[in-house]
Amino acid sequence: MNINISELLKGNIETLPFNVSFDEDVLERDDFKLKLKSPINISGIICYDDEIINIKGKISLVAESQCSRCLTQFDNPMVVEFDENFLKNQESDDFYPILDDNIDLKNMVIDNLIIWMPLKPLCSENCKGLCPICGKNLNYGQCNCKTDNVDPRLLSLKDFFKSSQGGGE
Ligand SMILES: [Zn+2]
Ligand SMILES: [Zn+2]
């Protein structure tokens, strides 16, 4: 995922607006793997100032995620803003390296996605999940299992209210 920045490094231009797409099936690194349903689009502006290449913009893509409640695969659109710095011949926690006349966006993209991504993705905020008894996906309708909606820890409290109401006035 390289962008050529030679014109910036030579001083021919001060800023470089960009809009690039990378068509990959999977975005992966040792500690990261994301199945993609769209190209990775990255757009923004690159500035060169005193050895530092600053790049700001946004990453947008559609990933294939698994819902943490109902376990179905769904298309998960992501738009992540970033603001990162690259430095020549150096890699530290604060900078990504400039390699010859290029910057490689891959690590920067993955790091920003890791920070942004929810630990428990949901196919929808209102996902009803699976029935704990038969496993049916409740987004497609109710099952016939008899589940009491009352939390078991509250059952004794419910009984208490029943008997106190039954006591009459
Ligand atoms: Zn779901
Ligand atoms: Zn059920």
Q: What is the DSSP string of 36-75?
A: ESSPEEEEEEEEEETTEEEEEEEEEEEEEEE-TTT--EEE
**Cα-to-centroid distance, 66 and ligand 1 (Å):** 8
**pLDDT confidence of residue 168:** 44
Domain with 168 in it: 131-169
Q: Is there a single domain that holds both residue 85 and residue 12?
A: yes
Residue 63 lies in a domain: yes
Q: Would you say residue 64 has pLDDT above 50?
A: yes
Could you identify the residue written with the tokens 């991504």?
117
Question: Mean pLDDT lowest for which of 26-35, 37-46, 60-69, 146-155?
Answer: 146-155
Q: Would you say residue 169 has pLDDT above 60?
A: no
Q: Is there a single domain that holds both residue 82 and residue 149?
A: no
Q: Is there a single domain that holds both residue 112 and residue 135?
A: no
Q: Is there a single domain that holds both residue 86 and residue 142?
A: no
Residue 24 lies in a domain: yes
**pLDDT confidence of residue 108:** 94
Which among 116, 142, 160 is the end of a domain?
116
Residue 156 lies in a domain: yes
129 phi, psi to nearest 5 deg? 75, -160
**pLDDT confidence of residue 166:** 47
Q: Is there a single domain that holds both residue 85 and residue 35?
A: yes
**pLDDT confidence of residue 49:** 85
Q: Is there a single domain that holds both residue 102 and residue 162?
A: no
Residue 39 lies in a domain: yes
Residue 126 lies in a domain: no
**pLDDT confidence of residue 91:** 62
**Cα-to-centroid distance, 133 and ligand 2 (Å):** 5
Q: Would you say residue 61 has pLDDT above 60?
A: yes
**pLDDT confidence of residue 15:** 94
Q: Would you say residue 150 has pLDDT above 60?
A: no
Residue 123 lies in a domain: no
**pLDDT confidence of residue 160:** 56
For the chain, how many structural domains are there in total?
A: 2
Nearest to 16 by CA among 51, 52, 43: 43
- pTM for this predicted structure: 0.76
Q: Is there a single domain that holds both residue 76 and residue 26?
A: yes
pLDDT tens digits, residue range 74-106? 999 999 999 999 988 666 777 898 888 999 999
Q: Is there a single domain that holds both residue 24 and residue 100?
A: yes
**Cα-to-centroid distance, 121 and ligand 1 (Å):** 8
Q: Is there a single domain that holds both residue 63 and residue 34?
A: yes
Q: Is there a single domain that holds both residue 108 and residue 163?
A: no
What ranges in the chain are assigned the alpha helix state H? 6-10, 106-116, 155-166
| Three-state secondary-structure class, residue 139 | helix
Q: Would you say residue 134 has pLDDT above 70?
A: yes
Which among 72, 91, 116 is the end of a domain?
116
Q: Show the tokens assigned to 70.
A: 């109902």
**Cα-to-centroid distance, 132 and ligand 2 (Å):** 7
Asked if residue 70 lies in contact with residue 120, where contact means CB atoms within 8 angstroms, the answer is: no
**Cα-to-centroid distance, 135 and ligand 2 (Å):** 6
Average predicted confidence (pLDDT) for the chain:
87
Q: Is there a single domain that holds both residue 8 and residue 32?
A: yes
Q: Is there a single domain that holds both residue 39 and residue 102?
A: yes
**pLDDT confidence of residue 119:** 86
Q: Would you say residue 167 has pLDDT above 70?
A: no
Residue 6 lies in a domain: yes
**pLDDT confidence of residue 2:** 92
Residue 121 lies in a domain: no
